[in-house]
Amino acid sequence: MAASTLSTSGTFADKRVVVTQARDFMGPALTEAFAAEGATVIADERNLQSAEAADALIAEAGRVDVLIANLMLRNPRTSIPETTDALWSAQFDAMVHPLHRLVRAVLPQMIERRSGKIVVVGSANALRGTAPRAAYSAARGAQLAFVRSAGIEVAPYNVQINAIAQNFVSNPTSYPEHETAAPGFAERLAEVPVGRVANGWESAALARFLAGPGSDFFVGQIFPFSGGWVV
């Protein structure tokens, strides 16, 4: 991340921010972005698929002002006839069930304080039909449906839950440099009106906004971030 992209305003200087799967997907960019704003960042790297993992994480973190639900499992890209129950379940076990458990664990303290932000880093694949991605898209779609309903439920308590639905964003899991530099990737970029892959810091900047004081009027919203691939 270029140094010039980092804000030093200290907006989050008194905030405790939990970032899940901190080594994967958008984790590195998110961790750096919030740290640059002065936040105390709990960059958690554990596997959250067990039923107890989310409760343990939130208990260990203590006060959580911002939860960044960065959950990812690579898309198996199997056709529907080839998608076994195990492949299907794996997507939901990694991205849907942990989201519910994380939000369930952190909400009581946020509701009690009447203050809190939850940002889900999701996928634009849930907003546009693509093949062969049915299992992945279904799990990502479930995340967004959860955000819409949960956001409305907790809005009266001054807790805001929103999501970023991204695609074509540089990250170590789904768009690593060796993949975006490979022959043939330019053909995929032809689908993106801006004609490039976004930098990780660009998505992280949107997450920072949604986690900050300027986003209090956004509730259960899904923000496409895909260079025009989804509008």
Query: What would the pLDDT profile of 121-167 be if each residue is shown by its tens digit?
Result: 999 999 998 888 899 999 999 999 999 999 999 999 999 999 999 99
The DSSP symbol for 197 reads P
Q: Return the amino acid letter for 64.
A: V
Domain at 10-225: CATH code = 3.40.50.720
> What token pair was written down for 224?
């496409």
Reported confidence tier of residue 55, pLDDT bands at 50, 70, 90: very high
Q: Return the amino acid letter for 205.
A: A
Q: Please spell the DSSP secondary structure of 126-156, one letter per residue.
A: GTS--TT-HHHHHHHHHHHHHHHHHHHHHGG
Q: What is the pLDDT of residue 3?
A: 38
pTM: 0.94
Q: Return the amino acid letter for 58.
A: I
The residue ranges of every structural domain in the chain are 10-225
Q: What is the pLDDT of residue 116?
A: 98
* Phi–psi pair at 165, nearest 5 degrees: -105, 95
Chain-centroid distance of CA 156 in Å reads: 23
